[in-house]
Amino acid sequence: MTADDVRGSATALARQALGLPELAHARTVAAYVSVGSEPGTLALLDALRARGVRVLLPALLPDNDLDWGGYTGEGSLARVRHGGRMTLLEPAGERLGPDAVTEADAVLLPGLAVDARGMRLGRGGGSYDRVLARLERAGAHPALVVLLYDSEVVERVPAEPHDRPVHAVVTPSGARRFRWASEPGHPD
């Protein structure tokens, strides 16, 4: 994709996501800053803030768990290099602790793909598996939304017993909800 394609996709993704009722009524959204070839999220983060939404962003911990901090604009981000692995944009301010995500009305998740069952394929680090397990232990039930390109919505991805389906996927061309994401014991 060209730089113009990436920018256009980020704008379209933000427009589609902002139309979701789960985000329209959210007071707190846990999100992330996209990296590499992921669909751009900064336009969405800024639009959420403009609506008065509290936006939480992750900070990667040494054990691959996630701490959280507030997003107050692009100037509130710091580039953080994590060993030889990657450089991420993370919140530069006060850390709120890993449990801060349990306050979110919606959690925006990165991924490589999502399938027709609503199962998300992550990058394999387990950070968001920990987040989802933390939400479950806390009895928190935020809307779980994956942000992807259209081509990353596929028929089936591998799933492990600990994986949980998401409620929706948003792409630059639209949103798709998964009605069974909240049914106990699904899927398999």
Whether residue 128 is annotated as binding a ligand: the answer is: yes
Whether residue 125 is annotated as binding a ligand: the answer is: yes
Residues 6+ apart with CB under 8 A from 138: 99, 102
Q: What are phi and psi of 58, to 5 degrees?
A: -80, 155
* 185 in Cβ contact with 165 (< 8 Å): no
* 107 in Cβ contact with 142 (< 8 Å): yes
CA nearest 133: which of 163, 112, 104? 163
Whether residue 38 is annotated as binding a ligand: the answer is: yes
Whether residue 49 is annotated as binding a ligand: the answer is: no
* 99 in Cβ contact with 66 (< 8 Å): no
Reply yes or no: is the peptide bond before residue 187 cis, omega within 30 of 0.
yes
Whether residue 101 is annotated as binding a ligand: the answer is: no
Whether residue 8 is annotated as binding a ligand: the answer is: no
Binding-site annotation: residue ranges for ATP: 120-128
Binding-site annotation: residue ranges: 33, 38, 120-128
Binding-site annotation: residue ranges for substrate: 33, 38
